Amino acid sequence: MRLCDRDDLKAGEARRFDVEGHPVCLVRIADEFHAIGDTCSHADFSLSEGEVDEDECTIECWKHGSAFNLLTGEPESLPATRPVPVYLVRVDDDGVHVEVAS
């Protein structure tokens, strides 16, 4: 599903999209895009409202501070212990697309 134009997100920016009923957090790191589940695995808070670390390729949950790896979905710090889903991203001339298995 197409989410947006490439230039809709600046580097280091995150945005939430609803993709076929799944909350997805789309993040831009330099010219690469990553998509993970937007709901923190610790509690029901939106990861896209957290801070992106471009060097570490993580996003930090704003509520209690767990940093999630954007490539694996794994939390790299407590209190979250379970991963969030990782989605396949495709970028072409038409924009940024994400595949969500239903």
Q: Are 82 and 75 in contact (CB under 8 A)?
A: yes
DSSP H/E element including 92: strand 86-92
Quote the tokens at residue 76. Answer: 């790299």
Shortest reach from residue 47's CB to ligand FES, in Å: 7
Given the structure tokens 């923190």, which residue do they identify? 40
In the bound state with ligand FES, the residue whose beta carbon lies nearer, of 4 and 86, is: 86
In the bound state with ligand FES, the residue whose beta carbon lies nearer, of 6 and 45, is: 45
Residues that bind ligand FES (CB under 6 A): 40, 42-43, 45, 61, 63-64, 66, 79-80
